[in-house]
Amino acid sequence: MLHRLATSGLLLLAGLVVAAQAKGPRTTIPEEKDRNRHEEFLKIAKAGGVDLLFVGDSITDGWRGGGKAVWDKAFGPFHPANFGIGGDRTEHVIWRMRNGELEGIQPKLVVLMIGTNNGDPAPDVALGIKTILQDIHERCPRAKVLLLGIFPRSEKPDGARMKNDEVNKLISKFQGALELGRVYYLDIGAKFLAADGTLPKDIMPDFLHPNEKGYQIWADAILEKVKQLMQEDSGKPLPSFSPPSAVAKIARIEETISAGKFDSGLKALEKLKEDKDPKTADAAKATLQVIETWKASVDAEIARLKEAGDVVLAADIASAMASTYTGDAAKPYQDQAAELKKDPTYSAGKEYQKLAARPAEQRKDPRFVKLVEAFLKKNPDGFYAKAAQALISAK
């Protein structure tokens, strides 16, 4: 026992020394914790084929336990992987991201929730989360991140829950920050709470970790957002309707739109917004507003990608939107895509895509390094230069 205590003390002291020597708070300094689990994740990454990646601590890890049945049903179709480890803090996730867990995969979407185990001040926890977002963006520049607010904990609001709420206010501002990539923030914490603000034991028995009922609430709260974020870059972009309209006629039209019949559904809604039945008319107008909001968000994403320098992805989304709309409504997107493809960096972006598509094993080949170096010689600056450099940078 004394030997174990002494060893633990030395490890803690070593960690404090490293933290003191590094710049920034402890929450931003990589720290190894669970090598065996990390090795498991490296094997998953090496195998590839991951489109949806969950990253976090024991709450995320729990999808393998009490949440497994819910996970399989809700997320199984999206080729998911779960990189959650019990007890992890922000510094542990940073270490994992920098030591190979993103090598070999290019997920379309990363769902991230971390921070409840950090006993640090809220600004430091938020800075740790920001560092993770930067690491993900550096290694997977085209991935989107669904950043979840830290879930509520403790039966009643206490210091720990209040601190997590403070962290959530800070990290909510990360959405839209160009240097962090394609971050979307969502706080679903209220869905776990009773009307009086208490955390029910039949959802989180220990007032921290969800049971199967809690994981079902989680899945239901994010599934539509996950579908939306994963579909916009491939195939035909379509709005999602969650919850569906309470008016059955309008709900059926929403289903038609979600199934890909956008033009006919839009025309039906335009007609029904003048319906004699006020409930039907109001419901049609509400659904049309959802579509307008969705369209505005896609337009903003195209503009953000263009400003960031990823003109290829911006052009891809514009082209996809041109296939969603028809006639005059499609022309602005067609013109936008054509203009983006004329950008001098577009050809560099297409070349970068070919490099990024190489599997992890090929990236270790010296010939791959030479290909990237040749690319950087032709394209020394800009978004694609930084992304290409990350392909060969030491993790």
Name the more confident of 86 and 360. Answer: 86
CA distances from 267 to 272, 274, 284, 335 (A): 9, 12, 11, 23
What lies within 8 Å, CB to CB, of 234 at 6+ separation is: 108, 320
Q: Which helix (H) or strand (E) holds 304?
A: helix 278-308
What number of H helices and E strands is found in the chain? 17, 5
Q: Sign of torsion, CA 178 181 187 188?
A: positive
* Tokens 């729990």 -> residue: 62
> What is the structure's pLDDT at 133?
96
Asked if residue 384 lies in contact with residue 142, where contact means CB atoms within 8 angstroms, the answer is: no
Alpha helix (H) ranges present in 48-197? Answer: 58-61, 68-75, 90-97, 122-139, 159-171
For the ranges 230-234, 290-294, 329-333, which has the lowest average pLDDT? Answer: 230-234
* CATH code assigned to 24-231: 3.40.50.1110
Q: Which two tokens stand for residue 214?
A: 């809690």
Average pLDDT, the chain: 90
- Burial label for 392, CB within 10 Å (0-12, 13-18, 19+), is middle
What would the pLDDT profile of 256-284 be if each residue is shown by its tens digit? 998 888 999 999 999 999 999 999 999 99
What would the pLDDT profile of 187-245 be if each residue is shown by its tens digit? 999 999 999 999 999 999 999 999 999 999 999 999 989 988 887 665 678 888 878 89
Peptide bond before 243: cis, by omega within 30 degrees of 0? yes
Q: Answer whether residue 20 shows pLDDT above 80.
A: no
Q: Which residues are catalytic?
A: 58, 206, 209
The whole-model pTM stands at 0.80
| Ranges of each domain in the chain | 24-231, 248-341, 347-392
Mean pLDDT of 36-49: 92
